[in-house]
Each structure stands twice: as C-alpha cells, then as structure tokens.
Structure 1
Amino acid sequence: MYFPPFTSSLLIAARCLALTSLLGGVVACGNAEKPKAVSPAEVENPVKESDLTTVVITADAEKRLGIKTVAITTDNVQATREVGGEIQAVPGQAVTIVAPVQGTLRGGASLTAGQRVRQGQTLYSLVPLPPERDLLTLDQGITQARTQLQVAQARLQRAEELLADRAGSVRARDDARADVALAQRALADARARQGAMNGNTNGGQALPIKAPLSGVVQRVSVAPGSVVTANTVLVELAALNKVWVRVPLFVGDLHRVGKDQSVTVRPLNGGATRQARAVEAHLLSASAGTGTPGAGAADVFYELDNTDEAFRPGERVAVDVTLSSGNSATGGTATTAALTIPAAALLYDASGGQWVYVRTKPLQYTRQRVEVQRAVGNQVVVSRGVQAGAEVVTDGAAELFGTEFGGSH
C-alpha cells in the first residue's frame, strides 16, 4: 500500500513516541526503591557495659561501706616466666604391685583411683592356684579320690565284720581305718583345690597383698574375684609427701635460672589471687638433652613439699619461674615495669571474670573488667583493663559489688 511522504513521517514519529514511553516505564521500574529488610529482633534502648557497671552512692553510704582507694602505679617487679608444668611422682616413691603367684583375688572391692592407703594395709588376698598342668586334672583327681574313699570304707566295713565273727584281726581293722582317713584327706584336698579355682579358700591359706608405702592409689588394674597369673599388675601406688615439678624452659633462659632461686606453682584453675605454693627447692636438673629434640626446650625439675597432698601426679600446673639478670658480674634478679594493684581490689564474678571498681567521679564507681597476669606478693600484675593513675577500690570493693547486684542493704 502506498503512503504519502508526510504520512510515513507521522507513523515513524508515533512509533518512536510509543517506544520512548515503553523504555521510560522500564527505567522507572528499575529505579523503584527496594523494601527495607525487617530485622528479626530489635533491642530498645541499648546500654553499654560501662553504663551498666556504674554505681553512684551517697557520702553517708561511702562512709558506712568504709571505701578506700589507691592509685594504680607502674612498679618494677621481678621478671618471671610463666610456663606450664607437670606434677610427677618422685622416682622410687611410685610402686607397682604385682601378683607373686598364680591365684584368685579376694578383697579390694573398695579400691579406687585417688584413694589414700597406709603402709601395711591389706589391699588384696590372693588364693594360690595349683600349676596349670594340675588344673587340667582337677575333676579327675576328685573322682579318683572319691573312688579311693569308697574302696577304703568298704574294706573297713569288711574288716569290722570279720572281726565281729572272730575271723579277722584288730590290726587289719586299724589298717583299714587308717586307709579311710587318708582317702578322706585326699578327697578334701582335691575339693579345696577346686574351690580355690572358684575363689573359695575353704579354710585354706591366702596370701595377703599389702601396701609397701603410704600414698595414693594411682591405678587399679584388676577386679576382685579375677584369676591372675604371676607378675600380673594389680595396683599402682604413689607417695605424695614430696613430688617433682617438670618445667620445660627455653634453652636461652637456662643461664638465667639460679640454683638458689625458687619457683611458684599454682593450679591452673586457681587464679592469680589463690594462695600459691612457693617451692623452696634446689634445681634438680637442667639439661638441654632432657628436652624434645628440635624443640629448643629443656626440662627443669623442682621438688615440692606436698605433705597436704594438694597436687597429684599428672596434674598440669602454672609455674612462675624467677629469672635473674643473666650477668654473672652483677648478679641479682631481673626486673620489669608493670601495672600493679592490691590483691584486695580484685573481684570475681560467677563466670570467673576479673573486675575492679574505679573511682571515676566523686561518689561514683565504675566496675571495669581487667586481665591479671600473675601475683607478686600482695600485689597482682594487670596486663590490661586499667591505666596508671586510676584509683581502684581496695577496702569496700566487695560491698560495692553486693550493692550493685542487690546483695547489700
């Protein structure tokens, strides 16, 4: 079909206008705002931890609680190296008890690991068993002994009947009685051996297994009633009045450990303020050859007085090793600068967190979380959480803690 030139121009313009409208709609859809994401939970009026731990009291309350503060200072404290150690039994003070002969165990039902025993205490009773070659013939032996007894009793009865008819002699009757007695003894012994196999002595002798020293049961290897062979391990004991502490040290620190210096041993869960165990002992050994090859560490041993049995062999402990200056000319103990606070200022929450109260304003105290590195006498070294110059509460810290959580009135 033919269109005039002006008509074609109009059609082209209309098509362009429609296409422009369509593109504009697409662009408009692309620029439409996305809906905001809805949070699954919202916290209204969030409060910082520092705002939750601020206590404001009156002057009368401060006086009544007896609050005293001290300024945190940077002091020179002894240079120590905190390392992990392991408690070990003193060689020769740990014994392994074995069965002397083959037999059946009796007693020992109450023996458990960690139980204390005294020297000479009977731990087990061992009923000896006959050799293995005899165990195979136990039933045959009983049958044979029973048959011999029956034969001897028949002979005795026959001898008594002949004697009553004046056809026998008194001597024959007495010999028959002796044979019956021997047969009865043989049958009783055979039954006793079989009873020993089942753990019954039937009045027989049992060997007592006694503790050779006073100490603590380390391990129980057998149960009562078990049949054991000779040299079977029964129980392991360790004397704990003295123990060794194995301390792996970097070989570069060995020359800084003096033979007359002591170390401080602490339980891993004891915290820095728990009363630590000061080990006043000479250095037992220090040799790079006692460490792990290639590890660059050497095992150093200290002896610990453990009369109260607070530490057990195998227990992991924290050990603070005091280091000297390493200069043989000057000698002395090396020191290092550190932030220290009185141990009385340190508080623990129910989760084991460490806190102190810092006076931020007059009559205002803020509880701040701190991280304690170690204890030095009545002071504790703080690695972070507070700054030098801040005033921490010593007397009355526990009372503030109770006031904050409603435990004090």
Structure 2
Amino acid sequence: MRVCVSGIALVLAACNAPPPVSHEPPASVEHPVPESELARVRLTDAARERLGVTTGAVVAHRGAARRRMAGEIVVPPGRSVTLTAPVAGVVRARTAPRPGASVERGEDLYVLTPLAPVDRDTRARAAREVEAAEATLAAAEARLERTETLAQSRAGSRRAIEEATAARAIARADVDAARARARSVRSTPLLADVRMRVTAPEGGVIARVLVVPGQSVVAGAPLVEIAAVADLWVRVPVPSAELATLDSEASATVEPLGVGAGSAAEARPVAGPLGADPVLGTVDRYYALTEGSFTPGQRVLVSLASTSLTETRAAPFSAVFHDAAGSAWVYVVEEDGVYHRARVDVVGRDGELAVLARGPAEGTEVVAVGAAEIYGTEFEPGH
C-alpha cells in the first residue's frame, strides 16, 4: 500500500513540474555562404588581356611525402667568438658596442688600459726617481760646463764636449720620464701608461655585450660575443619515432612563420652536435641554409622529406595566393572570363609546382598568372 501511494505522489509531482526553459544560443550566423557559393568574377576579353591572365591545370603529383616541423635558426658551432681581456685592466670605448650591431673584421671595439703591478711605497719610489733624475741632470750640466771651460783654455777636446752634451740630454729625458710617472702615480696609481686595442677577429653580429666602458676586468674576462651570421643553420627537433621515416640525405625547405610559401629557402643536411630532449622524446637534426635572410634565434617552419612516396595533386606555384588571414586560394576557371575562388592547402613546393594536400580535382583549370589581380577586383580596396 505504501509503495502505491509513493508512486502516485511521484506521478503527480512530475505532472505539476514547470516546463523546461529554452536557452537562446550564444551566437548565430545570418546568411551563411558556403565556399562552393563564393562570388564569381567575370572579366571581359580586354580586361584579361590587360591583366595578362594565363591559366594552367591541376596535375597529378607523385613524390616524397613531406613532414612539417618547427625549427630554430642557430649559429653553427665554432662560428661564435667570445673576446676576452688579454690582461687585467680598465675597459674604454669611444662608442660602446651594442647587441645586434654589425661589425667588420679588424674593427676596434674597446681600448684596454692595463693595471700596473701594485708595489709598496709606489708614490715614494716615484718621488725618489724624480729626485735621482734631477740630481743626475744637475751633474751632467756641471760636467758639460767644466768641459766647455777646459776646451776654451785648450785643455779639453771637442769629443769630450760632445759626450758631455749627450749625457745632459739623456739626463733631461730621464727627468721628464720620472716626472710623467710621478704625475701618473698621483692621478691613477694602478693604471699603466699604455693602451691595448681590442678588435673584432672576424665580421659578424654582436650577440652579447658583457662589460661597460670604465669597468675593471681581470685577465681572461669575457668582453663581447660575436656571431658570424654569413652561414646559418637550422636546428630541427625530430620525434625519435619518426627518424627512420625521414630521408636523411634530402634537402629541407625552411619557411619563416607568418610569411607565405614564396619566402621559403632550401637547406642541406649537415652533421651537427649531438642533442636530444628525453622529456619530449626528440633528437636534433641540423640543416645548413643556402639562401634566405634569417636571424639567429628565429623560429621557422621546416618541411622534411620522407622516405615514402605519395600520390597527390599539384598546381602552378604562381596560381596560389594568400588572403589577409593567411589562407591559400586559387581561382578556378569555370568558362572563359568566369572565375571563382577555391581554398587549397599547400604542403610543399616541387620546382614550379605547389604540392597540394587539398584543392581542386586533377585536370581542373586554374589561373596561373593574374590571380592576385582578380582577387583585387573581387573586393573593394581595404579588404
């Protein structure tokens, strides 16, 4: 009886429950346009001739599969030089070197004033040297005076006068040197009176500056690091599970991040330092750049060749263009003078062909020259 009453109560509660509240969707898209219904562009014969529009076909492509990985531009081992102080001293510079600045071979970077040995009673010794030099000078002048007197009375020779004159000149030079040393001891008692030029052993870019002008350094202290950027490498951390699937002798394609594939550069494999990351499970592979403009530390996208062959499609490389968001497109020819956009995914380049992972079917005719101009007619300036 209790079970029946409880069941009836539950049924009545469910009947009296409020209806579920409908929630408004957080976003809505009005008039969505699929890519298959993008705008069509019509050009007259005169416009096509003026723009120089030519077409090409999407063809079948059979080649090595490509694997895209992140890489980093690095300075090759042995091409980074750290200049050190040959002796202890004080660093001076007319213009202090700055990181990132270019330097030429033999260019002056610093002037090093060596530190003189610290002896006891340095000032007293300097004063004694001055007094001794002055006494020697006085004796030399007196000797010259006596020699000249004897020569006048025909008791001396001309040679004696010359020797006495030379002794006086040497004594005067000793006095000048002793006085200069005394002044140096009074102003900078620990600095020598010589200067050493620190020059760049080779051209490159200043990577690090480790001292400032006026700083005292010990012998062997690092002053500045110069990186030779004429020949750069690319370091690619490759997952260890994929090492066997990559062609170790094939060249790689290096592309800056955020830039179209037209800025890609070729790089050849080279033997580099052994490096691995046990946490990420990667092994470093190195490639030497043969062209392009890159900076040490720059992150890049590297396309590596695989040992397996794939069947895919390819379009003329000049047919591919990129919009403001970085998406790749081609213009498909529907009929003479009528074109519409089609999205493509470019995975590599083979000569004058852009290898596609997605795009129009084989045999489709696309605009090979003039795609960017047609894109400009599809949108008003500013898009």
TM-score (norm 1): 0.65
- The alpha-carbon deviation at position 382 of structure 1 amounts to 2.8
Distance 1:148 1:67, change over 3 A: closer
Match for residue 341 of structure 1? 315
Distance in 2 separating the partners of 1:294 and 1:265: 26
Match for residue 321 of structure 1? 304
The answer on 1:292 being equivalent to 2:277 is yes
CA RMSD, aligned part only?
A: 4.3
Equivalent of residue 107 in structure 1, options 90, 93, 97: 93
Paired AA for residue 344 in structure 1: S
Distance 1:217 1:190, change over 3 A: same
Match for residue 341 of structure 2? 367
- The alpha-carbon deviation at position 190 of structure 1 amounts to 0.7
- The alpha-carbon deviation at position 336 of structure 1 amounts to 0.8
Contact 2:236 2:285 in 1 (8 A): yes
The answer on 1:279 being equivalent to 2:270 is no
Distance in 1 separating the partners of 2:79 and 2:68: 28
Match for residue 399 of structure 1? 373
- The alpha-carbon deviation at position 113 of structure 1 amounts to 2.3
- The alpha-carbon deviation at position 315 of structure 1 amounts to 2.5
Paired AA for residue 85 in structure 1: G
**For structure 1, which runs of at least 5 residues remain unmatched after alignment?**
1-29, 158-173, 325-333
Provide the secondary structure at the position in 2 that maps to 1:394: strand
Match for residue 25 of structure 1? none
Matches within 5 A, 1:8-407: 48=33, 53-107=39-93, 109=95, 111-131=97-117, 184-191=179-186, 193-194=188-189, 196=191, 204-258=193-247, 260-274=249-263, 276-281=264-269, 283-284=270-271, 290-293=275-278, 295-305=280-290, 310-324=293-307, 334-360=308-334, 363-384=337-358, 386-405=360-379
Paired AA for residue 245 in structure 1: V
Paired AA for residue 182 in structure 2: L
1:58-103 superposed Cα distances (whole Å, 9 cap, x missing partner): 3443344343333334422321222222232222221111222222
Distance 1:406 1:270, change over 3 A: closer
- The alpha-carbon deviation at position 386 of structure 1 amounts to 4.2
Contact 1:272 1:380 in 2 (8 A): no
Distance in 2 separating the partners of 1:73 and 1:182: 87
Contact 1:273 1:375 in 2 (8 A): no
Contact 1:284 1:303 in 2 (8 A): no
Distance 1:256 1:384, change over 3 A: closer
Distance 1:144 1:272, change over 3 A: same
TM-score (norm 2): 0.69
- The alpha-carbon deviation at position 252 of structure 1 amounts to 3.8
Distance in 2 separating the partners of 1:108 and 1:239: 24
Paired AA for residue 303 in structure 2: D
Contact 1:87 1:316 in 2 (8 A): yes
Distance 1:241 1:182, change over 3 A: closer
- The alpha-carbon deviation at position 345 of structure 1 amounts to 0.8
Match for residue 15 of structure 1? none
Contact 1:94 1:237 in 2 (8 A): yes
Distance 1:61 1:89, change over 3 A: closer
Of all paired residues, the percent bearing the same amino acid is: 35
Provide the secondary structure at the position in 2 that maps to 1:273: helix
Distance in 2 separating the partners of 1:58 and 1:304: 45
Paired AA for residue 373 in structure 1: V
Provide the secondary structure at the position in 2 that maps to 1:323: strand
- The alpha-carbon deviation at position 365 of structure 1 amounts to 1.8
Paired AA for residue 107 in structure 1: A
Distance in 1 separating the partners of 2:357 and 2:76: 36
Give the structure with higher Rg (CA). Answer: 1
Distance 1:86 1:149, change over 3 A: same
Contact 2:265 2:290 in 1 (8 A): no
1:237-289 superposed Cα distances (whole Å, 9 cap, x missing partner): 12233333322223344334455432223323442222x322345x4269xx7
Distance in 2 separating the partners of 1:215 and 1:244: 15
Distance in 2 separating the partners of 1:152 and 1:293: 73
Paired AA for residue 124 in structure 1: Y
